[in-house]
Amino acid sequence: MIKLLKGNILNVFTGDIYPAEIIIEDGIIKIVRKIKGDFDGILLPGFIDSHTHIESSLMTPSSFAEATIPHGTTAVISDPHEIANVMGLEGIEFMIEDSKRVPLKFFFTAPSCVPATEFETAGARIGANKIKNLLERDEIVALGEMMDFPSVIAENPEAIRKIKAAKKACKPIDGHAPLLSGDDLCKYVEKGISTDHESVYAEEALEKKELGMKIMIREGSSAKNLQELASIGGDFLVSDDMEPGDLIEGHMDAILRKAIEYGIDEAEAVRMVTINPAEHYSLDCGAIAPGRSADIVLVDNLKNFTVKKVFINGELVAKDGEKLFKTMGEKRTPPQGKIRIKGLKSSRLEIQAPGDRARVRVIKVFEGQIITSESVHELPIIDGIIQPLPEDDILKASVIDRYGHGNIGNGFVKGFGIKEGALASTIAHDSHNLIVVGTSTNYMMEAVEILRTGGGLIAVAPDEYMHLKLPVAGLMSHERVNILACKARQLNDFVADMGSSLSNPFMTMSFLSLLVIPQLRLSDKGLFNVEERRFVDPILS
């Protein structure tokens, strides 16, 4: 089946824009020839999000595709370590199978850190042997972000085995190196780690770039680094984590608009979401050129990036923001990933201490970032139990093992702004235990008791609660983006009425337990200092 497309094309190799005709046969571009003609808009290669965790959208891959293809996304490179932490290889298999129901091209990475560290409990363990097998599959294009960077630097044998497996499979290794610098960064790069998406500061990204790392500039729901890093420039534009409400506004088209706004050259920005990732991960798309798949997007111009048409393998799959494809096959909800909490009682959410006041380490969270810091506060002790101070925005936090081992880690957090009530979630990066933040133990217990029935996100206020169920592993739903976005918005509004000023309170809370990003985190095994890589006592004195 031969097709012909005509229009102004952006040549990602030269940066030039000129009228051309494109001859497509069986989904592959065969001929591109310059022509004369006057056309509206510009034809670009389909957009690639080269680092994203589908699960963060709360949607399954098929629902994620329905939401993103109309925005010009034709391929994603996804690290399925969220569901892998909950239910191992079964979870990865589910993601791969569900992704085959839609035209969006999903390229997965082999999750390198399941569990993310040895300082937490996950629902599964994926060692070097399983990673070797995964890397032999065509759907797997790289070794996923090597988050346990201290183990890489220390040449931990298991970490080195995983790296060797990727090198043997001739597939690149993604990095995750927040605030890493100097000789430690050199050791990390020397091991063959080729990308990083965690830079928050320009000088941090520049140092990595100077050492040959490819820089992924992240502009998603959880972390927004584009404005800070635009001046340094990078190799890829990525989302990392996108909430449904943000996906309604856009995906790579929205990130491209911001990139231009922050001063990145148009052709360079387009290269960062097309040919650059395609070359790095050896994909057959990424340019309007012979031999590449006919994944093509028609936009109005390189400022608005309003997506008019989307082609995947030469088939028109979206037009004027509406999807034109049918999702194939049946929705499946994998049986695993149930929530199994053992030995929960309110006294286990308390921190005991003698006297009537205690100096306590508190995790401070920040709007629009996933890094945290440690702050010290004096808290009252009543009946031998350290109390939160909601009036000073010091709340309690607990991470409860949901895989049946009975662990509970307790701490205090600052920055949520909630005056009375609790939030709880079965999204708690990356082990996805059950995390809960609240102004009292009672509210926290109420939230956990409701949540353990169906997983997802819940907010409990004095007289009512709101529960967004996520039946797929407690992480995702088959619902469409507009329904999920509406429910997530209602939930965020509900939490704002509880006093929170955070734009994505559940996403911010979900990162409190990510033990691979500085500074102070909470695991199901206790309060954890990331840079010192050790558990610390919440009580200073």
Instruction: By CB under 5 A, tell whether 432 contacts Mn ion.
Output: no
Tokens (6 digits) for 96: 């791969």
Half-sphere exposure of 344 (CA within 13 A, CB side): 24
Least distance (Å) between residue 471 CB and ligand ADE: 20
Instruction: Answer yes or no: are the C-beta atoms of 223 and 366 closer than 8 Å.
Output: no
Least distance (Å) between residue 34 CB and Mn ion: 42
Tokens (6 digits) for 52: 């994203």
Q: How far apart are CA 129 and CA 489, in angstroms?
A: 42
Least distance (Å) between residue 117 CB and Mn ion: 13
Instruction: By CB under 6 A, tell whether 266 contacts ligand ADE.
Output: no
Instruction: By CB under 5 A, tell whether 176 contacts Mn ion.
Output: yes
Of 61-69, 143-151, 370-378, 504-512, the segment contacting Mn ion by CB under 5 A is 143-151
Q: How far apart are CA 409 and CA 393, in angstroms?
A: 20
Q: How many residues bind ligand ADE (CB under 6 A)?
A: 10
* Closer residue to ligand ADE, CB minimum distance, 238 or 379: 238
* Closer residue to ligand ADE, CB minimum distance, 145 or 219: 145
* Closer residue to ligand ADE, CB minimum distance, 280 or 429: 429
**Site residues for ligand ADE, window 10-69 (CB under 6 A)?**
53, 56
Binding-residue pattern over the window 232 to 251 for ligand ADE, x denoting contact by CB under 6 A:
--------xx----------
Q: Which of 130, 257, 429, 467 binds ligand ADE (CB under 6 A)?
A: 429
Q: How far apart are CA 372 and CA 514, in angstroms?
A: 10
Instruction: By CB under 5 A, tell whether 525 contacts Mn ion.
Output: no
Work out what residue 430 binds among ligand ADE, Mn ion, none; the CB cut-off runs from 5 to 8 Å by kind.
ligand ADE
Residue 46 carries which DSSP code? Answer: P
Q: How far apart are CA 152 and CA 38, in angstroms?
A: 55
Work out what residue 280 binds among Mn ion, ligand ADE, none; the CB cut-off runs from 5 to 8 Å by kind.
none
Work out what residue 241 binds among ligand ADE, Mn ion, none; the CB cut-off runs from 5 to 8 Å by kind.
ligand ADE
Residue 381 makes CB contacts below 8 A (sequence gap 6+) with 353, 354, 355, 356, 357, 358, 387
Work out what residue 101 binds among Mn ion, ligand ADE, none; the CB cut-off runs from 5 to 8 Å by kind.
none
Q: How far apart are CA 162 and CA 129, in angstroms?
A: 8
Work out what residue 53 binds among Mn ion, ligand ADE, none; the CB cut-off runs from 5 to 8 Å by kind.
ligand ADE
Q: How far apart are CA 220 and CA 238, in angstroms?
A: 7
Work out what residue 377 binds among ligand ADE, Mn ion, none; the CB cut-off runs from 5 to 8 Å by kind.
none
* Closer residue to Mn ion, CB minimum distance, 197 or 525: 197
Give first-to-last CA distance, the chain, whole Å. 75
Parallel, antiparallel, or unpaired: how do β-strands 105-110 and 73-78 relate?
A: parallel
* Closer residue to ligand ADE, CB minimum distance, 53 or 525: 53
Least distance (Å) between residue 503 CB and Mn ion: 20
**Residues 416-447 as b or e (16 or more Cβ within 10 Å = b):** bbbeebbbbbbbbbbbbbbbbbbbbbebbbbb
**Site residues for ligand ADE, window 132-161 (CB under 6 A)?**
145, 147
Least distance (Å) between residue 85 CB and ligand ADE: 9
Work out what residue 216 binds among ligand ADE, Mn ion, none; the CB cut-off runs from 5 to 8 Å by kind.
none
Instruction: By CB under 5 A, tell whether 467 contacts Mn ion.
Output: no
Q: How many CB atoms lie within 10 A of CB 25?
A: 13
Instruction: Answer yes or no: are the C-beta atoms of 274 and 266 closer than 8 Å.
Output: no
Parallel, antiparallel, or unpaired: how do β-strands 315-319 and 307-312 relate?
A: antiparallel
Instruction: By CB under 6 A, tell whether 120 contacts ligand ADE.
Output: no
Q: How many CB atoms lie within 10 A of CB 19?
A: 15
Of 101-109, 139-147, 211-219, 397-405, the segment contacting Mn ion by CB under 5 A is 139-147
Q: How far apart are CA 102 and CA 239, in angstroms?
A: 20
Q: How far apart are CA 314 and CA 285, in angstroms?
A: 12
Residue 363 carries which DSSP code? Answer: E
Q: Can you give the binding site for ligand ADE, defined by CB under 6 A?
A: 53, 56, 145, 147, 176, 240-241, 429-430, 514
Q: Can you give the binding site for Mn ion, defined by CB under 5 A?
A: 145, 176
